[in-house]
Amino acid sequence: MGATEFVDEVLREAGRLLLDLQEGSASSATRKRGADLVTAADRCSEALILRALRGRYPRDAVLAEESGALSGDPDRVWVVDPLDGTGNYVRGLRPWGVTMALVVRGAVVVGGFHDPLAGTTVLAERGGGAWMDGQRLVTGGGPTPVAVPTVGLSASAPPLRDEARALLNAMWDHGAELRMSGCGAAALASVARGRLSAFVEIDGGPWDYAAGALAVREAGGRATTLTGGEVDHTSTTVLAAGDAALHAELAGLVGEVRGNG
């Protein structure tokens, strides 16, 4: 079993666990940071994934949202979000899911996002394309092309809310339709599928972006940090778009809002 098949299997197993736990007390949330929530389900899902990683790749390092950094080979780091979209999960809303990626010497080489409610999994390999349940993904492959870009935006940390509001207004003025889904990994998967034109997040974690950014790139889009760097296991921002031209437009808007455009 290769790394991609391993990711597929583990994500689906974690997804089944999360579905089983959603109706019980494990879905009760406590506040973690700002608007971020955590549940027992987050921790149970993470424990399942960590057990699988320790069994299959015992020497690799891990960076997990709830457990933090776990020791291992610094050249091979697994980045894990056991439940992205916790706020949606506890309220019975969509989307939410599980995502993980493998970073080798600073480059994301394998990643996946599983949506348990939809039963779909987006997988990507560096240089090998992005796929959803066996179907090759292209960023222009949505059901209908749109003249107005549909952009996902996320920001939850209080110190950055003024910046988020300014960015929101700039994008509205630019003619974009905005969506705030509450699940960055799902938004990136939607960009890779051609269903969302772009996605911007200004205060997340690498576990939110690593897999999805790889999927966007492998599907023909462009995904970077807000400063134009490659998304890796240290990234706290992301700007992803279905094509390079839209990415450049949005990067210009971000630069103007942040005072470096």
Q: Which residues are annotated as a binding site for Mg(2+)?
A: 65, 81, 83-84, 208
* Residue 256 CA to its chain's centroid (Å): 25
For residues 209 and 229, the answer to whether their CB atoms sit within 8 Å is no
Q: Which of 57, 152, 48 has its CA nearest to residue 104? A: 57
3-class DSSP string for the chain:
CCHHHHHHHHHHHHHHHHHHHCCCHHHCEEEEECCEEEEHHHHHHHHHHHHHHHHHCCCEEEEECCCEEECCEEEEEEEEEEEECHHHHHHCCCCCEEEEEEEECCEEEEEEEEECCCCEEEEEECCCEEEECCEECCCCCCCCCCCCCEEEEECCCHHHHHHHHHHHHHHHHCCCEEECCCCHHHHHHHHHCCCCCEEEECCCCHHHHHHHHHHHHHCCCEEECCCCCCCCCCCCCEEEECCHHHHHHHHHHHHHHHCCC
Q: Please state the residue numbers annotated as binding site.
A: 65, 81, 83-84, 208
